[in-house]
Structure 1
Amino acid sequence: MVEFSLAFAIEKFPEVLKGVPSMLFVAIISMLLGTLLGSVIALCRIYKVPVLDKAGALYVSFIRGTPLLVQLYVVFYGTPLLVDILNEKWGWHIPLQDMSPLAIALLAFTINSAAYQSEVIRGALSNIEIGQMEAAQSIGMTTSQALMRIIAPQAFVTALPNLGNIFINLIKGTSLAFAIKVIEVMAQAKIVAGDGYRYLEMYFDASIVYWVICWGCERLFRWLETRYSRHEKRIAV
């Protein structure tokens, strides 16, 4: 019969917390990079850029149609092969030894989040009335200026709830990073559990950590949504 030791779970809880910095680092950086890449993909699809439009649609379909764990393995084992090809065929000098599991995890999570964010951003931008772009251009603004000053702030408010969900899913998804040797919360829990064979207690600790952080992020995005929604209403008035 499996026994649960609350005392052991409490005692080892600080050990599990050591994986939080890596978890947050991967989630935050990949979210930011994914926003940039996702915005480029969204704009290419909205403005029907030749080749890039179809390539972006294929990329989004592939990422959304495959499990994150499979993507992690593909990037983990495929990146060294790609680096070798670039170094040999094109004369590049990419130091493969400097590509740590953390860097590969960042790449994989960025690729994953960019696909989902591109759809959110594309939908938010498409919901903005086209007349606003035309009005901005009529007073001398370029397309890029109108996007940055008028369209993007409104689209950000619309996209914020979905972006929050993507970020929370990224945090939970980092639990898979231990599969490519990244020491985050889940990996830290497995390491500690292996010392005393108390896996239930350590997984319980890990679940508490994920729950608290995700709850905090949920509250943060809800606060941001409320704040920017009120700001947009004041501007409209």
Structure 2
Amino acid sequence: MDTFSLAFALKQFPQLLKALPVTLLITVVSMAVGLALGTAIALCRMYRVPVLGQLAHVYVSFIRGTPLLVQIYVLFYGTPVLLDWLESQWGWPLPADGVPPLLYACFALSINTAAYQSEIIRSALGAVDSGQMEAAYSVGMSTRQALLRIVIPQALVSALPNFGNTFIGLVKGTSLAFSVKVVEIMAVAKIEAGDGYRYLEMYLNASILYWIICFGFERAFSVMEKRLSRHERAPVH
């Protein structure tokens, strides 16, 4: 057996592209849900909302202190137990067998990235001058209006690089979804590698594809950052 077969690697690379939509779907959904949840968590902690603020602190500490793979396994094996218990106690028709693995992966990555995004959002909002809120109040704006129209747009500029890093981290984090039977890039690589035990070729293919994806999004976020911050570079007349 040859140590490395370039012909096999080139032949099987298109097979990985078939799993690309699944990887991107998990990434985009998890990023969107995590952003919404992370924003709520950040605001609860910043404004010290009773009970919710303390729960948010514990949530962030727990998620950041445990491995993503462990969280995926806990959700994958724990959710059916919870659903069965709710059905037995309350009579709720919640079939655990009907939950697709893709949903578990999206849910696990969403709650994981929400903890990290909440810290990004909290630091970005804290970096905005407090006088901005006072100025908004002085012209009759509510807290909600001040946040949406003044504070958040400014915070977005400073938070965007970290959001980009988080998004790229999510792309790579989807590689753990194959552990709960989601057929994404790593799962396809493992399946195809079984044909002749060409694991090196397929895992190298997977690493190249992940690098291409991450490089593309890295450039996209760089362009977005430059466009959002162009007003800061504008010359003063």
Q: TM-score range by the shorter chain?
A: over 0.9
SS where residue 48 of structure 1 aligns?
Answer: coil
Measured against aligned partners, the alpha-carbon deviations of 1:4-46 in whole angstroms (never above 9, x if no partner) come to 1001100010011111111110011000000000000000000
Q: 2:145 maps to which residue?
A: 145
CA distance in 2, matches of 1:5, 1:156: 47
Q: 1:159 maps to which residue?
A: 159
Q: 1:83 maps to which residue?
A: 83
Inter-CA distance 189–151: structure 2 relative to 1 (3 Å threshold):
same
Measured against aligned partners, the alpha-carbon deviations of 1:81-127 in whole angstroms (never above 9, x if no partner) come to 12122233334333323310000001000000000000000000011
Q: Given the alignment of the two structures, is residue 22 of structure 1 paired with residue 52 of structure 2, yes or no?
A: no
Superposition TM-score, scaled by structure 1 size? 0.95
Q: 2:211 maps to which residue?
A: 211
Q: 1:126 maps to which residue?
A: 126
**Residues 154 and 232, structure 1, Cα contact 8 Å, conserved in 2:** no
CA distance in 1, matches of 2:183, 2:217: 22
Q: 1:169 maps to which residue?
A: 169
Inter-CA distance 86–231: structure 2 relative to 1 (3 Å threshold):
farther
Any stretches of 5+ residues in structure 2 without a counterpart?
none
Q: 1:180 maps to which residue?
A: 180
User: Could you tell me which amino acid in structure 1 is paired with residue 69 of structure 2?
Assistant: L
Q: 2:73 maps to which residue?
A: 73
User: Could you tell me which amino acid in structure 2 is paired with residue 33 of structure 1?
Assistant: V
Q: Percent identity?
A: 60
CA distance in 1, matches of 2:59, 2:110: 13
Any stretches of 5+ residues in structure 1 without a counterpart?
none
Listed as ranges, the matches of 1:94-113 within 5 Å are 94-113=94-113
Q: Given the alignment of the two structures, is residue 48 of structure 1 paired with residue 48 of structure 2, yes or no?
A: yes
RMSD across aligned C-alpha pairs, in angstroms? Answer: 1.7
CA distance in 2, matches of 1:156, 1:28: 18
SS where residue 194 of structure 2 aligns?
Answer: helix
CA distance in 2, matches of 1:85, 1:162: 39
Higher relative contact order by CA 8 Å / sep ≥ 6: 1 or 2? 1
User: Could you tell me which amino acid in structure 2 is paired with residue 148 of structure 1?
Assistant: L
CA distance in 1, matches of 2:179, 2:232: 43
SS where residue 196 of structure 1 aligns?
Answer: coil
Measured against aligned partners, the alpha-carbon deviations of 1:170-213 in whole angstroms (never above 9, x if no partner) come to 10011111100000000000000112211110001000100000
**Residues 193 and 199, structure 2, Cα contact 8 Å, conserved in 1:** yes
**Residues 101 and 182, structure 1, Cα contact 8 Å, conserved in 2:** yes
CA distance in 2, matches of 1:43, 1:13: 44
CA distance in 1, matches of 2:91, 2:154: 45
Inter-CA distance 2–118: structure 2 relative to 1 (3 Å threshold):
farther
